[in-house]
Structure formats: C-alpha cells, structure tokens
Amino acid sequence: MSKHGGAEPSSPHSSPPSAHSLGDMDPEDFRRHAHQLADWIAQYFSSIDLYPVLSRAQPGDIRAAIPDDAPEDGESFEAMLADFERVLMPGVTHWNHPGFFAYFAISGSGPGVLADFLSAALNVQAMLWRTSPAATELEEVTLGWLRKLLSLPDSFEGVIYDTASISTLHGLAAAREVAVPEVRAKGLAGRKNVSRLRIYCSEHAHSSVDKAVILLGLGHEALKRIPADGEFRMKADALEKAIEKDLAAHARPVAVVATVGTTSTTSVDPLPEIARICARHKIWLHVDAAYAGVAAMVPGFEWILEGAADADSLVVNPHKWLFTPFDLSAFYCRRMDVVRQAFALTPDYLKTVESAPVHNLMDTGIQLGRRFRALKLWMVMRHFGASGIRARIAEHMRLARLFADWIDASDRFERVAPVNFSVVCFRANGDDAFNEGLLDTINAGGEVFLSHTRLDGRYVLRLAIGNLRTTEAHVARAWSLLQQTFDQLHAG
C-alpha cells in the first residue's frame, strides 16, 4: 500500500469515514470537497496552457505509480486529490488546451461541465419515462431545439446516445430491419431467401461504419467503399453504378452512409444526389454529420445539410463541435418506429402504465440505462444562445481559413485539401518521414498537438480548431512553430 497517499489526512475534518458509518460521504464533507474541486477546476481552466497538451507519460508510468490493490480502509479526499495531481495529471492529454489541434478539437464548456456535475449528482437512469420524466422530456425538447437550428424537418424524431458509433449502429440496424424481412425474429444465418447484403459509404467514411457493419452480422465485405473525387467527396455516379452492379448480381442494398464532414478532410458528400439515388432504389440513407452538422446553423452553410430532409437517419455530435462535454451524440430518425420495432422489448419488471402515452427511451436502442444527458445540451444552448453558438462556430472556421491562407502563401508547406470547416490538411515540402518527424517534434514541444492522416498514399498533417479557448494567437503560434521546426529539421 506504500504507493497510496500522496497526502496524509491533515485535520479531523478530513478523516476517512469510520467503520460505524454505513452511509454515503457526509453532505457537509461533500460540500467542502465540492468547493475544493470547484476551485481546482476553475484554476485549471484558467491555466491550462501551462500544461503540455500531449501527455509526456511513457507507457506504464501511471500504472506503476498506483498500488496493485484497492486500499482496505477508506482514505481522505485530500489524499485522493493529491494523488490525482501527482500521479494522474501528468498522464492527462489536455483536450481543453487552446493548443489542442488534433483529431477533432472539442470543448467541454463551462455550462456543460456544470450540467454534467448536476447530472452525476441526480444520478437518474432514464430508461423509462417514469424513472425520470424530466430527463425524457428535456431530451425531446433540446433535440427539437437543435433540429430547428439545423433546419431539419420535424418529421425527424431524436434520441440521445453516447457516441456517433452507437448512433450510426442504430441507423444501420434500422436499415437492416427494413431490408431483411423478419430479421428481428429470424436473424441472418441459415436463411434461404436472405441474399448477400450491401452497405455503401465513401472511401473516406468513418471507421464506425465498418464496426457497425461487422457487429450487425453483415460482414465487413458487405461494406462497399465508393471512390471519392479530387476533393474527397463520394462520387455519386460511382455509387449508382455499384448499386446497379450489386442488384444485377442479386445482392441486396441495405443502406448508404453519406458523410457531412469526413474525418480526414471534412469533405461533404453530395447529399442531394445521394438522396435521389437512395429514393430511386428505396435504400435507407444514413447521414454521418457527427462533426460538421452543427455548421449548418451558420449563415452560408445551410447547403451542407441540403438533401438531409430526405435521409432516413442522421447523427450529429454536440460533444464534438457544440461545446458539450463528452458523451452526447444526437441521433435523428424519420422512422423511429423502425428503431422501436427492432429493439422495443419490455420485460414484466419494466412494464408501466401512465396517464397518457409516453416515450420510454429504452425502446429506442440497445442500451437500457441512460444518463440525464439532455441537461448539458440544455445548459450549453441556453448559456451561449443560438447567436453565440453560430458566432463561435463561424470564428473557428475563420481561424482555419486564416491558417490555410498562411499555408497557401508559404513555399515550405502546401495545402492538400479544401478547407470546408475548421480543419486544415497540409504537408511540408519533403517526404513522409520528414513530415512525420516534423509532427513528432512539434507535438513533443507541448505547446500544440496536431494529428495526421494519409491522403492518396501520402502522410498529411491536420490542424483542427474546435476548442473555445483557441484564439488567433494560438493558431499563429502553431504556424510559427511549424515554420521554425521545418527550418530546424532542415538545418539539422
């Protein structure tokens, strides 16, 4: 137990609960510790740029610093907080850091964090309407708010899941339910009349589509990745040809996944054309707008969801670019009855009768239990307001275009994809190894964290903006570091 206890209990107030108390932490102790944490977090929020963005921990460092066994006796909150700072914080990669430019940069904004604190304290489990009417109805209302801001028609019913992986999984499960008669009861195996099934997405679609196809028992080979054009958008004519070829070979098209804001380059698949193809062939259309969907509320960007009204399902992630702490994924479906048909199943111990029809959220998905997640979306949207949200998303896009302009004007770097939203794909003049070395050197510096992808076989750097603390100065600093490091590596 020697690794336990970076700090010893320092006063009678901080002693662990005695054996005769069999309840929870005393409310007054809770109050005191919550105030300590409030101060700690506020301090952290105002000094995040003092930490290295990317953790410098080496594999095994954290594990080695923690005992192998749970303590036999309870410990003080002070001891835990001290260990948190001493042992865990060096192992944290700071997604809150203004220099976080990797993957999709995100923000767990203040109002969202406060709402999540409240949600943890309420600890409601919103499986049934009656197990928390507020959680069920606030989910409906806030998803309505978001739907209207995105100009999606009210034929879309919404439900909150944890991740886009789960949202896309449900979209494709519903598609399977429609395409394969009696799949709920009879499944897919050993059936004579169930032919080979097909799902289509662009070669740039997210890996969650692959995982969903595998999980649903369709088989990875059922996923046909359609080639993209020079700007990384799915080629609609290639999609149509693939569908026709499969139909001729007696395979059954189940769904098309169109992406609004692909992960590598944030490209936007031609939704209106894809929707027309899906309508013509009666194929379920799922739209993965997990990252970029929210941009549709910014004037001039409405076009990105054009055609989405004809989709069957759509996912957008407030935990990506709507300032909501992870996890909160919004799934919209024009045919939520199909999702219910696929999954609703009420054992006796969960049967309830209410005074009027209600939605029991457990019926719209694979997970029975669910947190009160709507609370954070509600607080985030009210704190910033629609105008504040639009302004922030627009600002992130302005910063990305600014950075792209610097790249474009440089003779040491080149841009390799259009800047559609808040992500810039670029590379330094030099081979893949040079670019990889450049990225590693910059990330090791601790001031910024960028990630990479691979496009047309080449190693490509990505700068993603999405953190509310990121200002023009931080983007300028990233640019300056890139140039300096380029020169150093060339000189070295």
Residues 399, 216: Cα–Cα separation, whole Å: 40
Pick between residue 43 and residue 480 the one whose CB is nearest to its own copies: 43
Minimum CB–partner distance for residue 40 and its own copies (Å): 8
Minimum CB–partner distance for residue 486 and its own copies (Å): 21
Q: What is the 3-state secondary structure (H, E, C) of 334-395?
A: CCHHHHHHHHCCCCHHHCCCCCCCCCCHHHHCCCCCCCCCHHHHHHHHHHHHHHHHHHHHHH
Residue 120 interacts with its own copies (CB under 8 A)? Answer: yes
Residues 329, 166: Cα–Cα separation, whole Å: 8
Pick between residue 195 and residue 480 the one whose CB is nearest to its own copies: 195
Q: Which of 8, 13, 45, 153 binds its own copies (CB under 8 A)?
A: 45
Burial class (CB in 10 A: 0-12, 13-18, 19+), 176: buried
Q: What single letter denotes the amino acid at residue 306?
A: E
Minimum CB–partner distance for residue 488 and its own copies (Å): 21
Best CA proximity match to 398, nearest among 306, 301, 326 = 301
Q: What is the 3-state secondary structure (H, E, C) of 237-259?
A: HHHHHHHHHHHHCCCEEEEEEEE
Beta carbons within 10 angstroms of residue 104's beta carbon: 22
Residue 1 interacts with its own copies (CB under 8 A)? Answer: no
Q: Which of 10, 13, 153, 214 binds its own copies (CB under 8 A)?
A: 214
Long-range contacts of the stretch 425-433 (C-beta < 8 A, 24+): 425/264, 425/265, 425/453, 425/455, 425/460, 425/461, 425/462, 426/460, 426/461, 426/463, 427/458, 427/459, 427/460, 427/461, 428/461, 428/482, 428/486, 432/458, 432/459
Residues 406, 385: Cα–Cα separation, whole Å: 32
Pick between residue 352 and residue 484 the one whose CB is nearest to its own copies: 352
Which residue stretch of 108-116, 272-280, 405-413, 480-488 sits at the interface with its own copies (rule: CB under 8 A)?
Answer: 108-116
What stretch of H or E contains 201? strand 197-202
Residue 212 interacts with its own copies (CB under 8 A)? Answer: yes
Cα–Cα distances (Å) from 283 to 87, 110, 257, in that order, read 52, 42, 10
User: One symbol per residue from 276 to 305: x for binding its own copies (CB under 8 A), - otherwise; what is it?
Assistant: ------------------------------
The set of residues, in sequence order, having a beta carbon less than 8 Å from that of 384 and lying 6+ positions away, is 109, 111, 323, 392
Residue 125 interacts with its own copies (CB under 8 A)? Answer: yes
Q: Which of 379, 404, 442, 461 binds its own copies (CB under 8 A)?
A: 379
Q: Which of 196, 245, 280, 412 binds its own copies (CB under 8 A)?
A: 196
Task: Name the residue with tokens 């474009």.
Answer: 408
Residue 207 interacts with its own copies (CB under 8 A)? Answer: yes
Residue 197 interacts with its own copies (CB under 8 A)? Answer: yes
Q: Which of 80, 82, 309, 476 binds its own copies (CB under 8 A)?
A: 80
Strand ranges in 411-470 using DSSP code E only, listed in sequence order: 413-415, 423-428, 449-455, 458-464
Structure tokens at 239: 């999609």
Which residue stretch of 29-37, 229-237, 401-409, 484-492 sits at the interface with its own copies (rule: CB under 8 A)?
Answer: 29-37
Residue 456 interacts with its own copies (CB under 8 A)? Answer: no
Residue 447 interacts with its own copies (CB under 8 A)? Answer: no
Minimum CB–partner distance for residue 181 and its own copies (Å): 12
Structure tokens at 369: 């239990």
Residues 464, 425: Cα–Cα separation, whole Å: 9
What stretch of H or E contains 224? strand 223-226
Q: Are 312 and 174 in contact (CB under 8 A)?
A: yes
Q: Which of 367, 429, 480, 488 binds its own copies (CB under 8 A)?
A: 367
Residue 331 interacts with its own copies (CB under 8 A)? Answer: no
Minimum CB–partner distance for residue 411 and its own copies (Å): 27
- SS3 at position 51: coil
Minimum CB–partner distance for residue 175 and its own copies (Å): 13
Pick between residue 128 and residue 260 the one whose CB is nearest to its own copies: 128
Which residue stretch of 7-15, 216-224, 238-246, 410-418 sits at the interface with its own copies (rule: CB under 8 A)?
Answer: 216-224
Pick between residue 221 and residue 411 the one whose CB is nearest to its own copies: 221
Residue 181 interacts with its own copies (CB under 8 A)? Answer: no
Q: Which of 68, 282, 299, 411 binds its own copies (CB under 8 A)?
A: 68
Residue 62 interacts with its own copies (CB under 8 A)? Answer: yes
Burial class (CB in 10 A: 0-12, 13-18, 19+), 374: buried
Residue 427 interacts with its own copies (CB under 8 A)? Answer: no
User: One symbol per residue from 228 to 267: x for binding its own copies (CB under 8 A), - otherwise; what is it?
Assistant: -----------------------------------xx---
Pick between residue 140 and residue 229 the one whose CB is nearest to its own copies: 140
- What is the size of the binding site for its own copies (CB under 8 A)? 178
Which residue stretch of 165-173, 274-282, 303-311, 480-488 sits at the interface with its own copies (rule: CB under 8 A)?
Answer: 165-173
Which residue stretch of 131-139, 240-248, 279-287, 481-489 sits at the interface with its own copies (rule: CB under 8 A)?
Answer: 131-139
Minimum CB–partner distance for residue 119 and its own copies (Å): 8
